[in-house]
Structure 1
Amino acid sequence: MLRGVPGFRDLLPFNRLAGLRGIANVRHLDFPDGEQRRLKAVSGPGKATFITPNHPEFFTDWMIDKEIVSRVSPLAASWATNGVVNGLGRMMQKFWLANNLIAQIPGNSAAAKEHSVEWALKGHGVLLHPEGGVGWHGNFVAPLLPGAVEMGLEALKRGRETDPHFKTWIAPVVWKLTFTKDVYSALARECSYVERSLGIERIADKLPERIHHIYAVLLTRDASAYDVQSDPNAFYAERQRELLLELRRRLAKEISIDANSLDPSELLRRSRRWLKESAGEGQKQARRLMETIQRLQRVGPWAWANPLTTQEEMAEHLKRIRNDYCKGTLRDTLNHFAPQPAGPRCAHIRVPEPLGLHAYDGSIDDAVVELRRRMQEAVTAMVSELEAAGGFISYPNPFYHC
């Protein structure tokens, strides 16, 4: 699933079959021995380890997860969304549970956390993506959720009951996926599919401008759905910011709180809690607003931060659009669960310095911030290293403005 079948993956017509080519089409793993040793050093018996990778891509991430833990902690448990573990039928549920996949069930995670702590205390390790959902942004680590740190502290507390020197580690892992050749033509074909699927007219020849136009049209549609005026000639970032401000104001009003006193992430947390505890007519509108805000926020400042965009970033844009907007066909459903890359790739894997909770005096929030800092620094350094070596094919970025 990760690398395909040697001898078939490069041979026509077999290389057109995902099962032979490799569903994730990752031909090479750049995982230096020193990085593996760092992860091995904090894994195994006598310690509790929570492995926390970044989450830039669906399906491929799990394949890389399995490759990593097979090398350092083969019996590690892994967290996955409830829709994967429990939503594909009883036989698939049995298969996932046999592989020690833990279902993340919103609002009902106590059993999953308890199993994770117990499993980690046995020295097997637990892997979970602290970013939560996939963002399709390989150069940017989104704000992290606190679950790994919370479970790590609970494991440390229990471990110290029998061993005063017991140690608990949060072991971050990051990777960057790069194409091994020019895949512009394949990306253009995928863009054409997206345009047809969403009924969006192609008005440009260059691929970055076509992708930008798709986003601009989708933003106009979202604004129109809520009767919000949006200037189509303004920069995308400004239009998105204004729409998000208005939708956040409406969501705050719907759940009867002051939007000005909360940051956007706290507003969404409060909204999720309100939906769990409330009932009535307002639920439908609040949920719709929340879902739209979350979808819009998935295109963040990183999209317009640089004057150039890479073919990897264009591929991420297309996959994000397909995941969020293209629905209703078998092809779209298959793409949602096992998105197909535009060409062969290399996975560059690095292990930032693990965070020892046994030697950390800060709060849970501080630990989460520190963990994200280490992950982002490692991703940025890796991207800079690849860029210096000429590893990216780049184009002018139509999202960018000074």
Structure 2
Amino acid sequence: MGSSRLNTFVTPQPNAGLIRALIPFNRLVNLKGIPLLRDIPYLSRLPIVRGLCDIRQIDLDDASKALLAFAMNGDNASFITPNHPEFFTDWMLDKEIASRYAPLTANWATHSIVNGMGKWGQKFWLANHLIAQVPGDTEAALSYSKHAAATGTPVLLHPEGQVLWQSDYINPLFHGAAQMALELAQERPEKTVLIQPIVWKLRFTRNVSRELMQELAYVEQQLGLPAQPHLALPLRLAKLHRDVLKQTHTYLGYIAPTGLNYFDLRDALLSRINQDLQHRFGTFAGDTEEQSRQLLRAIRRDEKQGKPLDTMTVRKRRELQRLLRTPKAAYSAERWSQENIAECIKRLRNDYLKKGWRNTLHHFVPRPVAGRIAHIRACEPIDVQAMLKQHPDISADTIMDEMRQRMQAALDSLRLQFPATQTYANPFKL
């Protein structure tokens, strides 16, 4: 794959026949599998039988149905903004929602997916109405998205950006959706411009502690760490995360302190990286996490300016990115559910297990350990025209802050409505 195709925006060519033909395929093969057969031992291991995402039920309440039907009815210019707790399943839920209300919905995706699978792969994704997000060159994607929305085709994008495997927490949002909505509202004042946030929470249909222990054993084996089958589930997860941090200390040439929980050990490592790089990038204010985020932004600025980075700085930048994927704000709850533990294992597998066909396949299509229910809720939409009338100078960041609050409130409500039946002490504080 040449860099010219990978980094070049190509206008989508949505094929209505192909998109509609794939709806039953997505439901059968990707989402739900085959009822009855999917619960038969051994037979259930087959992807087509069980469904890649193993979604047994989709719970979408009447209020959410009404909001989505209005936002995606073709009369409004709508930007649909779901949360992004995991890879692949989110795409399939995106497609399921679109299939119910607006099958030709345009979907943003990374350029490595749209453009990175060769000529025929690119044609397939463009026919499925995917919009390539090319880093550093998003103007064409923004322009196409505004045009699509203005003509009644909803545009769906995940404002959290990358997948961070955090099902109970909405991360800071990128302002692309609000930027497009604001510009379109100013260009087309006669048009109703909406941002429609959506959240979903995935819940196991049964106790999966045995399966989670098996997946922990696999990660331990792949990372060359001693197996810990004698430890209870949260203790085993806690030790695995600490052992990975100790490996990272060694990889970067540090000696890991002993007797610390995950968060303290992680902060110690972040502090060492900050100290080592401050001679080049400066010192920053705030707690350890905030200093590290600012350091990472400073490194990225140098990269964009073409300034060379030595090998060790490249290593430290990569580890900063990994370490900041577990912010304290997302993991502060005293009690964790099995879903919280499962997502932490998936993030480890995604970040650290790269070798072999099994890990490569899992990176693109991470299979859950058991069946789940997808609880989906639409938040109150943001009417951008109404906001502009009240606050003519409102910024995209202000709109995204409001959207994040609505999404987090809806997610918190789901967590209260469907409490975990099995909980554990917070492994990162043990």
Instruction: Determine which of 355, 359, 366 is the counterpart of 2:398.
Output: 366
1:181 to 203, 206, 210: 206
User: Is the aligned partner of 1:117 residue 2:142?
Assistant: no
Residue equivalent to 2:218: 193
CA shift in 2, pair 1:8/1:266, >3 Å: same
Match of 2:373 in 1: 346
The answer as to whether partners of 2:274 and 2:291 remain within 8 angstroms in 1 is no
Given candidates 69, 73, 82, the residue that maps to 1:40 is: 69
Query: Which residue number corresponds to residue 166 of structure 2?
Result: 137
Identical amino acids, percent of aligned pairs: 39
- What does 1:292-303 align with in structure 2 at a 5 Å threshold? 292-302=319-329
Aligned to 2:297: 269
Match of 2:413 in 1: 381
In structure 2, the residue matched to 1:226 is 252
Contact 1:38/1:351 (CA < 8 Å) preserved in 2? yes
Distance in 1 between residues matched to 2:130 and 2:314, nearest whole Å: 28
The answer to whether the 8 Å contact 1:220/1:232 transfers is: no
What's the CA shift for 1:398? 2.8
Q: Provide the aligned C-alpha RMSD in A.
A: 1.9
Matches of 1:152 and 1:273, distance apart in 2: 28
Tell me if 1:205 matches 2:231.
yes
The amino acid that maps onto 2:176 is G
Which residue is 1:308 aligned to?
335
> Against the structure 1 CA distance between its residues 138 and 399, is the aligned structure 2 distance closer, same or farther, given a 3 Å change threshold?
same
Q: Any conservation in 2 of the 1:36–1:72 contact (CA below 8 Å)?
A: no
Counterpart position of 1:324: 351
- Aligned partner of 1:172 in structure 2 is 197
Q: Secondary structure at the match of 2:188?
A: helix
Please list, as runs of the form range in 1=range in 2, the aligned pairs for 1:72-151 lying within 5 A after superposition: 72-151=101-180
Q: Could you tell me whether the CA contact under 8 Å between 1:132 and 1:144 is conserved in 2?
A: yes
Contact 1:251 1:290 in 2 (8 A): no
Q: Which amino acid aligns with 2:406?
A: R
Question: TM-score, length-normalised on structure 2?
Answer: 0.86
Secondary structure, aligned partner of 2:302: helix
Cα separation, partners in 2 of 1:353 and 1:245, compared to 1, 3 Å: farther
Aligned to 2:306: 278
Aligned partners of 1:352 and 1:252: how far apart in 2? 43
Letter in 2 for 1:195: E
- Cα displacement (A) at 1:375: 0.6
Counterpart-to-counterpart distance in 2, 1:260 and 1:283:
25
Aligned with residue 271 of structure 2, among 224, 232, 245? 245
Check the 8 A contact 1:42/1:171 in 2, yes or no: yes
Structure 1 residue matching 2:166: 3-state secondary structure: coil
Helix, strand or coil: the match of 2:202?
strand
Deviation at residue 178 of structure 1 after TM alignment: 0.4
Report the AA paired with residue 344 of structure 1.
G
CA-to-aligned-CA distance 1:212-234 (integer Å, 9 cap, x gap) = 11110111122223333432211
Question: Counterpart amino acid of 2:217?
Answer: S
Which has the larger displacement, 6-15 or 91-100? Answer: 6-15
Aligned counterpart for 1:288 among listed residues 309, 315, 328 = 315
Specify the SS of the correspondent of 2:31.
Answer: coil
Report how far residue 92 of structure 1 moved.
2.0
Paired position in structure 2 for 1:398: 427
Match of 2:97 among 56, 64, 68: 68
* Separation (CA, whole Å) in 2 of partners of 1:100 and 1:260: 43
CA contact under 8 A between 2:201 and 2:374: conserved in structure 1?
yes
What is the alpha-carbon distance in structure 1 between the residues aligned to residue 401 and residue 278 of structure 2? Answer: 26
**Residue aligned with 1:373, SS:** helix
Q: Helix, strand or coil: the match of 1:173?
A: strand
Matched position secondary structure for 1:353: coil
TM-aligned CA deviation for residue 286 of structure 1: 4.1
Matched residue of 1:181: which SS? Answer: coil
Matching residue's letter, 1:271 = I
Residue identity opposite 1:322 in structure 2 = R
> TM-score scaled by structure 1?
0.92
Q: CA deviation at 1:259?
A: 2.4
Structure 1 residue runs of 5 or longer lacking an equivalent are none
User: What is the letter of the counterpart of residue 125 of structure 1?
Assistant: P
Give the secondary structure class of the aligned counterpart of 1:260.
coil
Q: Unmatched 5+ residue regions in structure 2?
A: 1-29
- Letter of the 2:73 counterpart: G
Shift of 1:304: 4.5
Candidates 241, 244, 260, aligned match of 1:215 = 241
Answer yes or no: is the 8 Å Cα contact 1:352–1:378 preserved in 2: yes
